[in-house]
Chain A
Amino acid sequence: MAATLPTDAVKTGLADPAHRLGALFDLYHPRLFRLARRLSRNADEARDLVQETFLRAARATRSIPEGDAAEAWLVRVLVNIQRDEWRRKGAKMRLDPEGEAESARPVPQDTEASLVAKTTVWRALERLPPRRRAAIVMYELEGATIKAIAKSLGVTAVTVRWHLSMGRRELAEAIATAERRGLRQ
């Protein structure tokens, strides 16, 4: 979809709020949807997440920074919405801390070990707290630097490194557990 205003006008905040937001949507919705899809369980949830992010931006247009910082601001809002949702569902997750229900989801019978591993790693990713999950996704899949992730999430680089370290450990444990289960069966 083509932007209705020149990018420069958007980036310098010269446009009126509605037009500026429309142009921000045109510029950043692909990246936000990719991130949202990797942070949520299905495409519908991702679509809702992107829409809610831009609706919150629409209600606070004066808070959106100018220039490239707008993208980081939108990413932070998206991750925070996902965190709120994750906390809201917290009770349900605490009742199923090991993700037994998720693990019981049938995996195609004729799959290879690699398919089991990648399915397992994405299921394990779903159980990570949103900020940790976002850090893993941005670092491992988007190739973002730790500094850029810290800016997007509004945390320090040390916090990002900690989230990456903890996230990798948790995902490795999930894969190891799945492999042990596979050997037993």
Chain B
Amino acid sequence: MKDLKQLLAEGDPVTRERGMSDADLRAMRRTIVLEAGLETAPASWWPRPLALAAALAACLALGIGIGLRLGDGDSSSSPSRPVRPARDVRRQLQMTSPGGTRIIWTFHQELDL
């Protein structure tokens, strides 16, 4: 009986069939190169540092917005609330960055938004 290697070699479809045609190869190559070009394009216009800067700017804008709203809320509160002296008021703005870092801003008592 013939050995396995010989049986495999004799029945090998690669030796019996033609490979891919030139037209098939050209079409496949074009598809692949096009796909690679498409995949690399988005990465170039949205790099990681830009995304980080955008996230920080959004946090900052959100913080200022919340701070302004809190300030407005204080001014429209009921007149019966006792008014504390300005130097005792300590205002804080707390937020959490996307990475999980807690940020606490303590505003200067004389800061008036």
Q: Which residues from chain B contact A47 at a C-beta distance below 8 Å? A: 20, 24, 28
CB–CB B4/A121 < 8 A: yes
CB–CB B14/A58 < 8 A: no
Select which of B19, B20, B24, B39 is within 8 A of A58 by beta carbon.
Answer: B39
CB–CB B8/A37 < 8 A: no
CB–CB A29/B40 < 8 A: no
For the complex, is B86 an interface residue (Cβ under 8 Å from A)?
no
Check A1/B40 contact, CB under 8 A, given A21-B32, A22-B32, A33-B19. Answer: no
Give the shortest distance, in Å, between A172 (CB) and chain B (any CB).
7
CB–CB B8/A140 < 8 A: yes
Q: Which residues from chain A contact B36 at a C-beta distance below 8 Å? A: 17-18, 20-22, 57-58, 61
Chain A 15-44, CB within 8 Å of chain B: the 1/0 string?
Answer: 011111110011001100110011000010
Chain B, interface size category, equals 20 to 34
Give the shortest distance, in Å, between A161 (CB) and chain B (any CB).
15
For the complex, is A51 an interface residue (Cβ under 8 Å from B)?
yes
How far is B20's CA from A54's CA once the two chains are assembled, in angstroms?
Answer: 15
Residue tally, chain A, CB below 8 Å to B:
41
For the complex, is A95 an interface residue (Cβ under 8 Å from B)?
no
- Nearest residue, chain A, Cβ from B8: A140
CB–CB B11/A25 < 8 A: no
Label chain A's interface by main secondary structure. Answer: helix
Give the shortest distance, in Å, between A176 (CB) and chain B (any CB).
10
CB–CB A51/B19 < 8 A: no
Label chain B's interface by main secondary structure. Answer: helix
How far is B40's CA from A168's CA once the two chains are assembled, in angstroms?
Answer: 44
How far is B40's CA from A20's CA once the two chains are assembled, in angstroms?
Answer: 12
CB–CB B20/A17 < 8 A: no
Q: Which of B29-56 contact A (CB under 8 A)?
A: 29, 31-37, 39-40
Give the shortest distance, in Å, between A57 (CB) and chain B (any CB).
8
Check A51/B28 contact, CB under 8 A, given A22-B33, A58-B39, A119-B11. Answer: yes
Chain B 8-20, CB within 8 Å of chain A: the 1/0 string?
Answer: 1111111001011
CB–CB A59/B20 < 8 A: no
How far is B25's CA from A152's CA once the two chains are assembled, in angstroms?
Answer: 24
Having A22-B32, A22-B36, A119-B11, one finds 16 other A-B pairs with CB under 8 Å, namely: A1-B25, A17-B36, A21-B33, A29-B20, A38-B13, A43-B17, A50-B20, A58-B33, A58-B35, A58-B39, A61-B40, A114-B7, A122-B8, A141-B5, A171-B4, A172-B4
What are 16 sample pairs from A and B whose C-beta atoms fall under 8 A apart?
A: A1-B29, A17-B36, A17-B37, A22-B33, A25-B28, A25-B32, A37-B17, A47-B20, A54-B28, A58-B33, A58-B39, A61-B40, A117-B2, A140-B5, A140-B9, A141-B8
B interface residues with partner A (beta carbon < 8 Å): 1-2, 4-5, 7-14, 17, 19-20, 22, 24-26, 28-29, 31-37, 39-40
